[in-house]
Amino acid sequence: MALPDSDAWSKKFFSDGWRQAAAEQPVVEPATGDQLGTVGLATAEDVRRAAARAAQAQREWAATSPQERAAVLRRAGELFTEHAAEVQDWLVREAGSVRSKAGFEVGLAVGECFECASLPTHPQGEVLTSEEARWSLARRRPAGVVSVIAPFNFPLILGLRSVAPALALGNAVLLKPDPRTAVSGGVVITRIFEEAGLPAGVLHLLPGDGSVGQAVVDAPEVRVISFTGSTPVGRAIGERAGRLLKRAHLELGGNNALVVLPGADVHKAASAGAFGSYLHQGQICMTTGRHIVHESLVEEYTAALAAKARALPVGDPAREDVALGPIIDRRQLERVHSLVTESVAAGARIAAGGEIVGACYRATVLADVTPDMPAWREEIFGPVAPVIGFSTLEEAARIVDDCEYGLSVGILGDVGTAMKLADRIDSGKVHINEQTVNDEPNAPFGGVKASGTGSRFGGAAANIEAFTETQWVTVRPDIADYPF
């Protein structure tokens, strides 16, 4: 399976085979600006044709045996394992991932495929009681055609975590990756399933601009939209899906809190905090965006976190051994810096970082932060760690919840105290004595408030709920007698 410089996909999109695109876009390495290849861009008309073909192919795919569908998912997992180094290289160069992050993402992809291979043989309903002399069943049926819209930051797993379960459960998929990561978030997934034996017409790769995104939502054949991305775009998709009476599973932003309790090991806490804030340059929905530290530790913690930040090298992860790679593009890089400088102008103090280095941003710590500062209120999506103090558990809970988002919270320190705090906060995920960035294929993943519409990824129950419809079925031994 050749991915780099392959005529199989260059300047093409995938819909019943690789098709020449009417338009194309360069694949750019964010660290250097070098062109790595060229992807084809689909049009809204391409989407309409793909959706019609997907609806036809989906009926045939759903009719295959559970064992056949499971075999395709298992083979996909094996192929990700066999080609791990190749896929990692694309994540490093196209998405700006450091090598360890790329390896972690490929490992998640392998686990996702193997986990989803069990879905076709998982119980697909329940037997109900009935007042009538009949059998009463509630069974789960494939939703039909699913549109998956994925972001740039973890392009492989954030597309695959919807593609794999949707396929396993008998659906067809229209995949629209972020154009900035269309290879690692689209071509890789498509080529893997192509090699794994997925029948023609079941999966379509449709990179493109906003008109393509609108088309994969609007297509009449599409019944479910799975979107991972920013909250503003998610709101627009949710509104549009609501008018069309379609289900939209929205995994959106986060401004996640790490709470350091009194008595916590400061150096271990700072290590956890640095990982949570600086992994993949902070370009993760689960990134630790707010450090809430007990007043007895706040100065020591800030100093320890700043020392960690200063020690982290930045640069080109394809050519250097670095901890932080490039920000995805110049626009986002400048946005990160503006949030820092605006907060400094409002009174924050830079304890570490605060600098643009080429295409990168140094790991940054902000002290003397107040809750009204931009770096505290907004999702930065960059390697910035604002720190604020608290005095009581009630105050910590209030600070955590004083945020429009509710995705992930980490609590470091005494477990009993952490449990009491966990019961008081509103978050889709809580991790005690861990930082905020956590993900496993079998665990429910989702947030509350502006972070999305709930846990729609991870584990059989969430995936079956997301990508199937419930059908009530009754069976009588004979035709019933009616009074008409």
How many Cα atoms sit within 13 Å of 184 on the Cβ side?
33
CA 361, CA 31: separation in Å to the nearest integer? 11
How big, in percent rounded to 5, are the helix, strand and coil portions of the chain? Answer: 40, 25, 35
Identify the three-state secondary structure at position 37: strand
Is residue 188 within 8 A of residue 157, CB to CB? The reply is no
Sequence ranges of the domains in the chain = 12-252+452-473, 256-432
CA-closest candidate to residue 440, choices 100, 70, 114:
114
State the maximum Cα–Cα separation within the chain, in Å, rounded to a whole number.
Answer: 83
Q: Which residues pair with 291 in a beta bridge?
A: 258, 387
CA 344, CA 42: separation in Å to the nearest integer? 43
Out of 3.20.20.70, 3.40.605.10, 3.40.50.720, 3.30.70.1230, the CATH code matching 12-252+452-473 is 3.40.605.10
Fold of 256-432: Aldehyde Dehydrogenase; Chain A, domain 2 (3.40.309)
Tokens of 239: 């509104």
CA-closest candidate to residue 353, choices 345, 344, 330:
344
Q: Which residues pair with 429 in a beta bridge?
A: 408
CA 309, CA 239: separation in Å to the nearest integer? 41
Domains 12-252+452-473 and 256-432 share a fold: no
Give the number of other Cβ atoms within 10 Å of residue 46's Cβ.
21
Per-residue pLDDT of the chain (484 residues; tens, 9 = 90+): 555 557 789 999 999 999 999 999 999 999 999 999 999 999 999 999 999 999 999 999 999 999 999 999 999 999 999 999 999 999 999 999 999 999 999 999 999 999 999 999 999 999 999 999 999 999 999 999 999 999 999 999 999 999 999 999 999 999 999 999 999 999 999 999 999 999 999 999 999 999 999 999 999 999 999 999 999 999 999 999 999 999 999 999 999 999 999 999 999 999 999 999 999 999 999 999 999 999 999 999 999 999 999 999 999 999 999 999 999 999 999 999 999 999 999 999 999 999 999 999 999 999 999 999 999 999 999 999 999 999 999 999 999 999 999 999 999 999 999 999 999 999 999 999 999 999 999 999 999 999 999 767 888 999 999 999 999 999 999 999 999 9
What was the pLDDT predicted at 457?
Answer: 81
Is residue 379 within 8 A of residue 447, CB to CB? The reply is no
- Give pTM, 2 decimals: 0.96
Q: b/e per residue, 417-453, with b = 16+ CB within 10 A?
A: bbeebbeebebbbbbbbbbbbebebeebbbbbbbbbb
Which amino acids are annotated catalytic? 251, 285
